[in-house]
Amino acid sequence: MSKPVIIAVAGGSSSGKTTVVNKIISNFLTEKVEVIRHDDYYKDQSEMTLEERRKINYDHPLSLDNDLFYSQVLDLLNGKSIDKPTYDFVELNRTNITEKVYPAEIIILEGILVLEDERIRNLADIKIFVEADDDVRLIRRIKRDTTERGRTLDNVLNQYLNTVKPMHHAFVKPTKRYADIIIPNDYSHDVAVDLIKAKIFTILNK
């Protein structure tokens, strides 16, 4: 197999990254694409209580195990399979379960801080930043965290004001300057996705 196409999709929390990723994937056979979510590489915190884990700033780059993330993406690039960690957002910790991921023609790296680490940025053939208004992202986050992740409204709002919003402006939003394509999430993605699809085919056919 030739060198995989690496696509990095960044953007603020609840900006619509997964929607964009799914639209890209829909243009290709599923066996040709693997999605690696940066969230699964939050550091293991088994030595902490749940209450202690709730106090961690999960929007800071240091909360992620980028060394493992980078090395596993390199393995995929070199034709090796990986045992990817998985993360439990209710327990705020890694699980004991890993997922076997095999090399694919297209590898999508998704996460709020996936463009923050220069090593990871440099692996990407296409870098995308998905942008959405802060208020829209907050509303989406409230809906998601209260229905899917067992959070209370007060917990979501406190986390947003204390870490999510300030870290977005300190670390996430500045990575927009590294993006090849910036997608405003309050508009149709069709044109952007068509451009990305055409670029992927160009790289694959080289």
The CA-atom distances, in angstroms, between 42 and each of 31, 39, 64, 194 are 26, 6, 4, 32
What the chain holds in terms of domains, given with CATH numbers, is: 5-204 (3.40.50.300)
Structure token pair of residue 69? 């993330």
pLDDT digits (tens, 9 = 90+) for 86-145: 999 989 999 999 999 999 999 999 999 999 999 999 999 999 999 988 888 899 999 998
Residue 185 has pLDDT above 80, yes or no: no
How high is the pLDDT of residue 173?
96
Sign of torsion over alpha carbons 39, 44, 151, 172 = negative
Asked if 113 contacts 61 with a C-beta cutoff of 8 angstroms, the reply is yes
How high is the pLDDT of residue 190?
82
* DSSP per-residue codes, 162-181: IIIHHHIIIIIGGGGGG-SE
More confident residue, 38 or 30: 38
Q: What band does 60 get if pLDDT is binned at 50, 70 and 90? A: very high
Q: For residues 68-87, b (16+ Cβ closer than 10 Å) or e, as one string? A: ebbebbeebeeeeebebbeb
How high is the pLDDT of residue 184?
85
Structure pTM? 0.90
